Copies of this chain bind each other. A is one copy, B any other.
């Protein structure tokens, strides 16, 4: 239940911080379902803590857009309907295309080398798998490197502490897609190329297209799923 009570000398730096991570992951994986109410008393029992730290963790989740709060009525897990998903990708497109433009200007060569290592590893993983897919974790690692490479705290915070949690939640649950496509890897190579050329405009355009592609694929899936349920009913 409690993930870190092993070494009493280490002092796991704060309970509410641990709770934030645990709750966040439980929401992302769907262990706590979309739209469901978060009962403070039940969660306090489940994690074996008092309600104080728990409430603080919930307040942080509010800032991550993972739960919404209504006074005197508690908090509910966000519901990822089609509209919201597409809105998330619009926000991501705006922020991450700007991030890569900045990264192309300020990223160190050491960081660019790291990007190469990631892509090489992804190429290898693709061959070892079915030859058409790359693990989602690897995909996240790539994007996180680029985002941090922008050295823009505000953009990095917005993307990694808010938008990406929602994207992971969507991919993990609604989609069962734990992989990204071959096209994705090709586009990643193009992005690294643009960064290497120190060409912010090319980098921005390439990243924007990469994300719009992903958005389009998702939109098609959602529309098909919507039609399907209409037929079913």
> Which residue of chain B has the shortest Cβ distance to A20 in the bound complex?
B59
Is residue A186 contacting chain B, with contact meaning CB distance below 8 A?
A: no
> Which residue of chain B has the shortest Cβ distance to A166 in the bound complex?
B154
**Which chain B positions have C-beta within 8 A of A56?**
55-56, 59
State the CA gap A95–B166 with chains docked (Å): 17
Map CB proximity to B onto A8-40 as digits: 1 under 8 Å, 0 otherwise: 000001100100000000000000000000000
Is residue A131 contacting chain B, with contact meaning CB distance below 8 A?
A: no
Map CB proximity to B onto A156-175 as digits: 1 under 8 Å, 0 otherwise: 01100011001000000000
**Which chain B positions have C-beta within 8 A of A118?**
none
**Which chain B positions have C-beta within 8 A of A88?**
154
State the CA gap A95–B155 with chains docked (Å): 10
Interface size class of A (residues with CB under 8 A): 20 to 34
Nearest CB of B to A168, in Å: 15
Is residue A72 contacting chain B, with contact meaning CB distance below 8 A?
A: yes
Tell which of B62, B72, B87 touches A154, judged by Cβ atoms closer than 8 Å.
B87
Contact A157–B55 (Cβ < 8 Å): no
Is residue A98 contacting chain B, with contact meaning CB distance below 8 A?
A: yes
Is residue A94 contacting chain B, with contact meaning CB distance below 8 A?
A: yes
Nearest CB of B to A148, in Å: 13
State the CA gap A80–B185 with chains docked (Å): 38
Contact A90–B155 (Cβ < 8 Å): yes
A91-B158, A158-B158 are contacts. A153–B84 as well, Cβ < 8 Å? yes
Chain A positions within 8 Å of B, measured between CB atoms, are 13-14, 17, 52, 55-56, 59-60, 62-65, 71-72, 84, 87-88, 90-91, 93-95, 97-98, 102, 152-155, 157-158, 162-163, 166
User: Can you pick out 6 interface pairs between chain A and chain B where the beta carbons lie within 8 Å of each other?
Assistant: A55-B56, A59-B60, A84-B154, A90-B154, A94-B98, A154-B166
